[in-house]
Chains A and B, each alone.
Chain A
Amino acid sequence: MDTSDNILQQASPDLVRGSDTARPARAARLSPSFVSWLQAGPMMLVFLAFFLIPLVFVVIVSFWDYNEYQLLPAFSGRGYTDTFEGCIAQLPDLCTIAKTYLKTLKLCFLVWAITLFIGFWVAYFLAFHVKSKTWQMGLSLLCTIPFWTSNVIRMIAWIPLLGRNGLVNSGLMKTGLINQPVEWLLFSEFSVVLALVHLFTFFMVVPIFNSMIRIDKSLIEAAYDAGATGLQTLVNVVVPLAKPGIVIGSIFVITIVMGDFITIGVMGGQQIAAAGKIIETRVNALQFPAAAANAVILLVITFLIITMMSRIVDIKKEL
């Protein structure tokens, strides 16, 4: 209901109840629902044309046939059978696609655990230890600014540090800890996880901070007064109240890492297979139905993870 109706209704319930004619005539030249459609319609159209319909096309095309040159709009399960080629014959050994997804899930779990740890404590520090509003604003902004610069730049920024002749290696060589440069620092799973954590901890900090800032500080004092230790307060008061932020942050990080192909490509030296990379490789080979089939699989897995997580908290209520 229109906010103006609410206020009028509080003032004099009889005036508004059940009739639109009691509204001032000048405000009602266009019906409110029409105005709403006019206001929200353009955005809805953009999502329809560039998000919802494309998703439908992904599903449809995943069932089309293809040859080396083009899409063939005829029903076929080839996109899926090509993807799972040899999976049953190879049992109990895992086939390529299964291994790739396990690797993706592993990367995802590592990045999630690390970003959650860092994000939680950074948000905790900002929300509970920084007392002045100005400092809180300033320090939050400090964490936000890198998010506004290109991800690729933030990835390649690790090269001069981690490379064979990079700062880390030359530093370790000088101190005599190692005789030869360490090779696994760059273009490895290590560098992929490091870069992903570097890029996306921001998505953890912001929602957790938002949840924590809403926690009534007197609850924490009450816990202390009742004799709780710091750890008990943390586990029984802070974490449950910050849970919505934790879940939202986790959803962001997990979905980003599940679909990532750029960071894994650049930081993995194009060597590491992951769910997003498969799609990119298939597209580059112009095998669109196979790419779409992989996109559908990725979408289903991502959707399952999100459903599981949103069981824990009602996302809409928290925004």
Chain B
Amino acid sequence: MKEGRPRSFYVLAIFFAAYVLFLYGPMIAIYVLSFQGPQGGLTFPMNGVSTYWLTKLFQGTGIIDLGASFRRSLLLGVIVMAVTVVLSVAAGMAFRRKFRAQSILFYSAIASLIVPSIITSLGISLEFRIIDDLIKTHWNENFETSMGLLTSGLGAHLTWTLPFGLLIMFAIFNRFDPRLEEAARDLGATPWQAFRYVVLPIILPSVIGIGLFGFTLSWDELARSSQAIGAVNTLPLDLQGLTTTVTNPDIYALGTIISAVSFAVITLALGTIHMLNKRQAAKGSDAGKGLV
């Protein structure tokens, strides 16, 4: 190949830069606009700079109880994260050897990822409606509903986060050297010890990645929540509701806060992953330390 950078490099570099600008430009616009002055509107130019709209959110705008949906989204996100991590790691371990129903699980996960969200969401809501009807006719006439944040809502979010978790586990174990585990077994470790002291420390950075995916996917999830969450709203649902009614920058302020939480979680997770990788590099080898 020719020396130096070919012309196509510069063309594509400009193309890439334009894509990144396209990606970030509008988002930066609303972060900036959420600092409008009290008289400011939905568009540029800025009418003064203040944190008026951000603080107004926390005082309550009267239309919706943002504090409550904030807490609901947070609670759901954390539970989805925990369940996603545990189930994905377990299933990932199972996929390292052949077992019956392996391909059923695999295709369920892929299908769950690509069947349009509205269909999954509708299905879950129908399922719970039918369950409700059964309870009402057979057990308790006054029963309200079994739909809710931590029943149908949690299930709906898991159908979205688990496939991602499983695919990440596949990627991890593609690179994993099974001899490390073999060595542990040969040294007399039980399967649990081999997992706890050998496998888990090695895969931990990626497992944190799964947690990160689980939380942020749930935190921002809208399509699957729309029919399946029951009577309450999550933060993205409130935000979507605002898009049709509100003409003030408080919608941008809300957007900025939701993004801020996402970014904080991403930064925290990436920081932890980086720290773990450094630790692994520094302490991973026991060469020259003798037998334990």
Interface residues of A (CB under 8 A from B): 1-4, 7, 24, 26-27, 32-33, 35-40, 42-44, 46-55, 57-58, 61, 71, 118, 121-122, 124-126, 129, 139, 142-143, 145-146, 148-161, 163, 165-167, 170, 198, 201, 221, 224, 230, 251-252, 255-256, 258-262, 266, 270, 276, 279-280, 283, 288, 291-292, 295, 298-299, 302, 306, 315-316, 319
Contacts and interface: CB of A to CB of B under 8 A. Distances in A.
B116 A298 contact: yes
Contacts of B118: 259, 261, 276, 279-280, 295, 298
B27 A149 contact: yes
Contact of A47 (B108, B124, B178): B108
B166 to A, nearest CB: 7
Contacts of A295: 118-119, 122-123
Contacts of A262: 222-223, 226, 240
A215 B110 CA distance: 25
Contacts of A49: 155
Interface string B1-23: 10001001100110110011011
Interface size class of B (residues with CB under 8 A): 35 or more
Contact of A71 (B20, B129, B152, B258): B129
A201 B24 CA distance: 13
B25 to A, nearest CB: 8
Given A46-B87, A118-B19, A148-B262, 11 more contacts: A33-B99, A51-B123, A57-B127, A124-B12, A129-B8, A145-B266, A148-B216, A152-B255, A153-B258, A160-B29, A299-B119
B119 A298 contact: yes
Given A26-B190, A122-B19, A152-B239, A157 B91 contact: no
Contacts of A52: 108
Interface pairs A-B: 8 shortest CB-CB: A259-B116, A54-B123, A50-B155, A36-B99, A157-B26, A39-B94, A40-B94, A153-B255
9 contacts: A49-B155, A50-B159, A149-B258, A163-B42, A259-B118, A276-B116, A279-B122, A295-B122, A299-B116
A40 B120 contact: no
Nearest to A316: B106
Given A50-B124, A50-B158, A54-B123, A153 B259 contact: yes
A207 B260 CA distance: 27
B16 A122 contact: yes
A157 to B, nearest CB: 4
A144 to B, nearest CB: 9
B167 interface: yes
A154 B27 contact: yes
A302 B119 CA distance: 11
Contacts of A122: 15-16, 19
Interface of B: 1, 5, 8-9, 12-13, 15-16, 19-20, 22-27, 29-30, 33, 42-44, 86-88, 90-91, 93-106, 108-112, 114-120, 122-127, 129-130, 133, 152, 155-156, 158-159, 162, 166-167, 170, 178-179, 181-182, 185, 188, 190-191, 216, 219-220, 222-223, 226-227, 236, 239-240, 243-244, 251-252, 255, 258-259, 262-263, 266
Contact of A58 (B30, B87, B122, B181): B122
A170 B30 CA distance: 17
A241 to B, nearest CB: 18
A227 B223 CA distance: 51
A76 to B, nearest CB: 15
Contacts of B22: 198
A150 B130 contact: no
A159 B105 CA distance: 42
Contacts of B116: 255-256, 258-260, 276, 298-299, 302
Contacts of A126: 16
B104 A44 contact: yes
Given A154-B27, A163-B42, A198-B22, A46 B126 contact: no
Contacts of A251: 114
Contacts of B5: 129
Contacts of B155: 46, 49-50
Contacts of A145: 263, 266
Given A150-B255, A152-B236, A160-B43, A255 B26 contact: no
Of the candidates A39, A43, A167, A302, the one having the most CB atoms from chain B within 10 angstroms of its own CB is A43
Contacts of A44: 91, 101, 104-105, 108
Contact of B108 (A24, A51, A163): A51
Contacts of B159: 46-47, 50-51
Nearest to A160: B43
A315 B88 CA distance: 20
B126 A61 contact: yes
Contacts of A319: 167, 170
Given A157-B29, A266-B243, A167 B43 contact: yes
B126 A39 contact: no
